[in-house]
A and B are shown apart, each in its own frame.
Chain A
Amino acid sequence: MEFAQQLVNGLTLGSLYALIAVGYTVVYGIIQLINFAHGEIFMIGAFGALSTWLVFFNGNTSVWVLPIMIIGAIASSVIVAVLMERVAYRPLRSAPRLAPLITAIGISVFLQELVRLGYNNPLLFLSTWNPFDFPSAKQKVPFPQIDVVTGAAFNVGGVVIQRSTIFTIGALIICAAGLFYFVSRTRTGRAMQAVSQDPDTARLMGINVDRIIIVAFVIGATLAAVAGVAQGLQITNINFKMGFLAGLKAFTAAVLGGIGNVWGAVLGGLTLGLVESMAVQFIPGTFGGSPWKDVWAFAILILVLVFRPQGLLGAKVVDRA
């Protein structure tokens, strides 16, 4: 019974990781960049959903609000991700590898602080203008609880299944199906595959590589935004720091599955979520339990990077100094 319960918990956690991990893997697959700020895109998605709700439906918890919140989340994430690519990453595309990574750290800190200071104060120190009366993001902000997807949990033979769990896993299934269709059936998706295999040849074949890179960022941001909403529904509050740890775990998941491989990211996310849940439950002694679960996640990251850098599904081995 405990095992079944942890299986459910692990799959929920894993779906969240998987949704974020796809963003790392698509971008890495195309321009070999670890987009360290991707966790922040996830965080901005959650805040975008909250803002949509506060502006248009404050107090309304009907279920039809949810799709509009998700659209709001996706819109804000996508805008930030595309701006980020355009302003910060594109000028550095031919720079030595260290430069984009440090830029990414800078963006990550910048976006966190921007949300922390600017959410209820968009003009920062210039004025205290706050048109929609947003709450301060300096501490945890409560996330709206929507009918149907939150509320009383189901109990299936002793296993507690939260409604948000179903939403999260469902979101992963829908997103994965959509991604599969996009990557393998559409022209743009195939162009993406071509660019990730050989950008120079792809360019010669008339593919607009810059556009494909933006598409990769858009896909990652979309899925991360959905994950942000799912996280908000699950934990019932959001904060400006939520992206850092989630991003790191999701990156672990992407590496675990084989970075550059979209299905690897999904598989890696689910695996990591399961391992974390099981570790909490089944590692005996004082090193078990939730205080150490992050340690186990990072230990897995290090072990995978050292012993099987190509990941579970074994994408092409990238050797770069």
Chain B
Amino acid sequence: MTSLEKTAGEAPVSRHDRMRSRFGSRAAVLAVAGGALLVLSGLLSWSYDDRVLGDLSIRFYPAGIQIYAMVIGVVGVVLGLLLLRRPPWLDPGRGLRALGYGSVAFVVAALVSIAYQAGGLINVNEGGWVGLLGALLILGAALLCPPEHLDVHSWPRLAGWQEISIIVVLLAVLLFTTAYTLNIDDAATFGCLLVVILTVAIALLGSGFGGYVGFIGQNNRRPLLLAAFLVAFLFPFTQDGSDANMSIATQILIFAATALGLNIVVGLAGLLDLGYIAFLGTGAYVGAMLSQSAFATVGWKPPFVVVMLLGMLVASIFGLIIGTPTLRVSGDYLAIVTLGFGEIFRLAMFNLDGNNGPDLTNGPNGIPAIPDLTFFGFDFGATHTVAGIPLGRFSNYYFLLLLLIAFVILVFTRLNDSRIGRGWVAIREDERAAEAMGVNVFGLKLLAFAVGASLAGLAGTIKAHQDTSVTPDQYIFLESAFLLAAVVLGGMGTVAGVLVGATILKLLPEKARVVNDYRLLIFGLLLVIMMRFRPEGIVPSKRRQLEFHEDDEDLVELAQTEHLEAK
């Protein structure tokens, strides 16, 4: 018996429930009306002052904020209409709730920005007030919707090509939205847009489309992966030769590749590592010391392919050294041991300047002036023009890093699906039971450290060339905490989660310069709040989500369905 059937037998007691049962049928009308008002508001003037948030003062020529309001309005209308004829696998009410809160937040944010920048609410024109009314109507509609039980067995079955085209369309929308979002420079507009994107995404995913899209993705894994990489590959071509966003994108890729390595150690094998940035640093220092830089401390200058392999090798040796104590310590103690190793790495790099120990790293000054990479005459520092679109220095590195992250994802997924990956999960769940079942606990733990470290080391060798300098203060404990946060925020043990987490953690501080001084404050608060309210992360693996919410029956059912269909 499901939770819904249990409650359906009893009479609705609270006033809220009585309101719902009486006005539930009107919710659809309210939602459609609210959506229509928001669409209308997009055609009206929002601001008397034409210098605020772009130009919002012209009627019947929507721009910026006005378009966003129309997007929310359309989604509201669609969800409202779906309320009238609800497919059993959808719960538009859930989506409307997110849409209601989000749209109110968006309109209020827009009104506050107008009032703040132009001096007083008097500058808000009729469009803003119509928009606010529409948003409030949607919220009201959402509160009247009764909670529905999702029937996940009734997903529509489409032909293969139809499912694939859904994926392609979604990814194209993703590419367009990303390119559009990144090109907005005004902080207030960027903030409003972010609210809108999050609102629409949560509204659509939450109402049941998310589960369905996930289901399609499960059915078409290869096309999905290929299409995703195609989209990522096309991204530099949307930037019109500008390197500003590409620089951020390369940072995100390096960060994500390292975080994926960490995800093997933490997410799969369950070994908490608080000094992981040291492996990225190892790779970077190997890359720098063996580079063509005039400040390199080692005379040997091998080709970059050899440097990459050496970076992986040295990092994995460090990984093995750090992993050895895992035989004896576990849990919190392991975290502290790795933290200690991370600090020792940083201090050693800081000290090895010739006065204290041998001269390997130039101490606090680091190794500067590392030249750009050159592969078979292809100079990574120069701008190349492909199909009329100039691709600058960072775009070149972006393509290389894309290959790197493809490799990392390949390693991650193949290991995860193999005997080794299952061994890691077994160790994570119960080490003694795993050992009793014949899992080679010590070997697999060491392997997790070595593989994770070598991936980070590989990323580090490229990072050295892309940053053109390597200094010890890039590898402080806070960076390790950031990596761990990317894994935890995104979702432990999943690839998509870590990519999302890494993007959020690197992109937001870069784009929202206003809050730049507050970014660490927000970061700390975010960690605490996430652990309190959604410890499994943004894109959790089903298994982990169940660990945190054992009593959620819908989730159990969903997990069982997927498990059966995977067979």
A269 CB to nearest B CB, Å: 16
A301 CB to nearest B CB, Å: 5
B329 CB to nearest A CB, Å: 5
Is B484's CB under 8 angstroms from A102's CB?
yes
A284 in the interface (beta carbon within 8 A)? no
Tally chain B residues at the interface, Cβ within 8 Å.
49
B507 in the interface (beta carbon within 8 A)? no
Q: Which residues of chain B have C-beta atoms less than 8 A from A125's C-beta? A: 518
Q: Bound state CA distance, A96 and B331, in angstroms?
A: 11
B306 in the interface (beta carbon within 8 A)? no
Given A302-B340, A306-B328: A289 in contact with B356 (beta carbons within 8 A): yes
Kindly identify which residue among A99, A295, A320 contacts B332, using a CB–CB cutoff of 8 Å: A320
Is A295's CB under 8 angstroms from B328's CB?
no
Per-residue contact bits, chain A 99-125, to B (CB 8 Å; 1 contact, 0 not): 111110111111111100100000011
B482 CB to nearest A CB, Å: 10
Near B by CB (< 8 A), chain A positions 293-309 give 294-295, 298-299, 301-302, 305-307, 309
A255 in the interface (beta carbon within 8 A)? yes
Near A by CB (< 8 A), chain B positions 467-525 give 477-478, 481, 484-485, 488, 517-518, 520-521, 523-525
Q: Which residues of chain A have C-beta atoms less than 8 A from B521's C-beta? A: 109-110, 113-114, 117
Per-residue contact bits, chain B 311-322, to A (CB 8 Å; 1 contact, 0 not): 000000000000
Given A102-B488, A110-B524, A114-B521: A248 in contact with B339 (beta carbons within 8 A): yes
B431 in the interface (beta carbon within 8 A)? yes
Near B by CB (< 8 A), chain A positions 271-315 give 286-287, 289, 291-292, 294-295, 298-299, 301-302, 305-307, 309
Given A106-B528, A286-B355, A321-B431: A248 in contact with B330 (beta carbons within 8 A): no
B535 in the interface (beta carbon within 8 A)? yes
Is A105's CB under 8 angstroms from B329's CB?
no
Q: Bound state CA distance, A302 and B526, in angstroms?
A: 30
Kindly identify which residue among B357, B430, B478 contacts A109, using a CB–CB cutoff of 8 Å: B478
9-residue interface stretch from B71-79, B342-350, B558-566: B342-350
Given A91-B532, A286-B357, A321-B330: A105 in contact with B481 (beta carbons within 8 A): yes
A156 in the interface (beta carbon within 8 A)? no
Is B524's CB under 8 angstroms from A106's CB?
yes
A45 CB to nearest B CB, Å: 19
Q: Bound state CA distance, A125 and B517, in angstroms?
A: 10
Is A101's CB under 8 angstroms from B520's CB?
no
Q: Bound state CA distance, A95 and B488, in angstroms?
A: 14
Is A305's CB under 8 angstroms from B531's CB?
no
A92 in the interface (beta carbon within 8 A)? yes
B168 in the interface (beta carbon within 8 A)? no
Q: Which residues of chain B have C-beta atoms less than 8 A from A289's C-beta? A: 356
Is B331's CB under 8 angstroms from A320's CB?
yes
Is B347's CB under 8 angstroms from A295's CB?
yes
A34 in the interface (beta carbon within 8 A)? yes
CB-CB nearest in chain A for B480: A105
Q: Which residues of chain A have C-beta atoms less than 8 A from B527's C-beta? A: 102-103, 105-106, 109
A118 CB to nearest B CB, Å: 9
Q: Bound state CA distance, A116 and B525, in angstroms?
A: 15
Q: Which residues of chain A have C-beta atoms less than 8 A from B332's C-beta? A: 32, 34, 97, 101, 320
A18 CB to nearest B CB, Å: 18
Given A248-B339, A305-B329, A309-B328: A103 in contact with B520 (beta carbons within 8 A): no
Q: Bound state CA distance, A286 and B343, in angstroms?
A: 19
Q: Which residues of chain B have C-beta atoms less than 8 A from A34's C-beta? A: 332, 335-336
Is A291's CB under 8 angstroms from B325's CB?
no
A71 in the interface (beta carbon within 8 A)? no
Q: Which residues of chain A have C-beta atoms less than 8 A from B340's C-beta? A: 252, 298-299, 301-302
Near A by CB (< 8 A), chain B positions 269-307 give 270, 272, 274
CB-CB nearest in chain A for B357: A286
Q: Bound state CA distance, A305 and B526, in angstroms?
A: 31
Q: Which residues of chain A have C-beta atoms less than 8 A from B357's C-beta? A: 286-287, 292
CB-CB nearest in chain B for A84: B528
Given A34-B336, A321-B431: A106 in contact with B347 (beta carbons within 8 A): no
Q: Which residues of chain A have C-beta atoms less than 8 A from B488's C-beta? A: 98, 102
Kindly identify which residue among B272, B344, B478, B548 contacts A101, using a CB–CB cutoff of 8 Å: B272
Per-residue contact bits, chain A 136-165, to B (CB 8 Å; 1 contact, 0 not): 000000000000000000000000000000
Kindly identify which residue among B272, B356, B481 contacts A287, using a CB–CB cutoff of 8 Å: B356
Q: Bound state CA distance, A190 and B333, in angstroms?
A: 28
B337 in the interface (beta carbon within 8 A)? yes
Q: Bound state CA distance, A91 and B358, in angstroms?
A: 50
CB-CB nearest in chain A for B347: A295
Is B524's CB under 8 angstroms from A92's CB?
no
Q: Which residues of chain B have C-beta atoms less than 8 A from A286's C-beta? A: 355-358
Q: Bound state CA distance, A124 and B515, in angstroms?
A: 11
Is B336's CB under 8 angstroms from A305's CB?
yes
CB-CB nearest in chain A for B517: A117
A207 in the interface (beta carbon within 8 A)? no
Q: Bound state CA distance, A287 and B348, in angstroms?
A: 10
Kindly identify which residue among A252, A302, A321 contacts B341, using a CB–CB cutoff of 8 Å: A302
Is B343's CB under 8 angstroms from A298's CB?
yes
30 A-B pairs, CB-CB below 8 angstroms?
A32-B332, A34-B335, A91-B532, A101-B332, A102-B484, A102-B485, A102-B527, A103-B531, A106-B524, A106-B525, A106-B526, A106-B527, A106-B531, A107-B528, A109-B520, A109-B523, A112-B524, A113-B521, A286-B356, A291-B350, A292-B347, A292-B351, A298-B340, A305-B333, A309-B328, A319-B330, A321-B330, A321-B331, A321-B430, A321-B431
Extra contacts, 19 of them, besides A113-B520, A124-B518, A321-B431 (Cβ < 8 A), are: A88-B532, A95-B535, A101-B272, A102-B527, A106-B525, A107-B528, A109-B478, A110-B528, A113-B518, A113-B521, A255-B336, A289-B356, A291-B351, A294-B343, A295-B347, A295-B351, A299-B340, A305-B337, A307-B328
